[in-house]
């Protein structure tokens, strides 16, 4: 029995969820050696020992299981990653839309094409498509989607010069916990919703155009949808 890798890149894009590979996380759960353009390892011939199936077995797992058992464990982990990737986006989006409506009391969405286009390009930094948007909170003067907050099927995107953290994209699966930092200055509420990431970064949302307590509840729910497959165990 041998382990045949088809180089799909999934394990390279999920190093943040496995203890054995966390040291390779570039900060967003993806391996720091992964090339997004080619969907392949940029140092394949010189890749770390832990990324070489047979060699890693000899050095790390030889005393724990047979080589055949190790191959089987790798195949199971590979299948689990593929199952995670194949999770129905439509089902996930439906659940998030329903939860948003339950929390905020109105149906999310935006049909104004210029605003959606700007939100995707500017707030979402070109990383998402229209059908991945849950809701747009527009803070721009012209209501043109050039600043504010976007909730997508797997992240919260912010671009606002007046926000505590002016620009960021935080994936729900990468958020460790949320916290409401309540503060007032000269009688003015300057409270901010903190997103504390698993990789150590902290983002803050102080936008007043959206109810931050309700936003925290929504984000906590979105995080929970990604918790089932949070850890892979050999």
Tokens 């903190």 sit on residue: 194
The average confidence (pLDDT) of the chain is 87
**Inter-CA distances, 223 with 48, 56, 152, 196, Å:** 31, 32, 12, 12
234 pLDDT more than 60: no
Q: What percent of the chain has pLDDT over 90?
A: 52
Q: What is the pLDDT of residues 29-62, one digit of tens each?
A: 889 999 988 888 999 999 998 889 889 899 888 9
Are 204 and 191 in contact by the 8 Å Cβ rule? The answer is: no
> What six digits make up the tokens of 139?
């803070």
More confident residue, 19 or 173: 173
**Domain boundaries of the chain, sorted by first residue:** 12-85, 89-225
Question: What CATH code would you report for 89-225?
Answer: 2.30.29
**pLDDT, tens digit, 9 for 90 and up, residues 87-128:** 656 788 999 999 999 999 999 988 889 999 999 999 999 999
Q: pLDDT at position 76, please?
A: 85
Q: Structure pTM?
A: 0.62
Q: What is the pLDDT of residue 119?
A: 96
Distance CA 96, CA 111 (A): 18
Full strand arrangement of the beta sheet holding 175-181: 175-181, 192-197, 202-205
């Amino acid at each position: 029995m041998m382990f045949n890798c088809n180089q799909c890149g999934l394990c390279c894009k999920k190093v943040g969820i496995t203890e054995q590979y966390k040291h390779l996380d570039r900060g967003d759960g993806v391996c720091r050696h992964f090339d997004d353009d080619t969907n392949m390892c940029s140092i394949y011939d010189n890749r770390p020992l832990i990324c070489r199936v047979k060699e890693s077995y000899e050095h790390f797992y030889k005393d724990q299981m047979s080589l055949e058992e190790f191959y089987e464990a790798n195949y199971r982990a590979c299948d689990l990653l593929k199952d995670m990737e194949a999770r129905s986006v439509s089902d996930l989006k439906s659940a998030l839309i329903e939860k948003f409506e339950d929390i905020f009391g109105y149906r999310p969405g935006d049909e104004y094409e210029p605003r959606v286009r700007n939100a995707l390009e500017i707030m979402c930094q070109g990383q998402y498509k229209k059908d991945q948007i849950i809701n747009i909170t527009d803070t721009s003067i012209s209501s043109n989607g050039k600043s504010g907050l976007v909730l997508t099927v797997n992240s919260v995107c912010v671009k606002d010069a007046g926000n505590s953290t002016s620009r960021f994209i935080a994936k729900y699966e990468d958020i460790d916990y949320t916290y409401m930092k309540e503060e007032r200055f000269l009688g003015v509420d300057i409270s901010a919703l903190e997103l504390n990431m698993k990789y150590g970064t902290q983002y803050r949302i102080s936008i007043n155009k959206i109810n931050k307590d309700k936003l925290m509840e929504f984000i906590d729910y979105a995080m929970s949808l990604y918790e089932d497959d949070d850890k892979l165990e050999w």
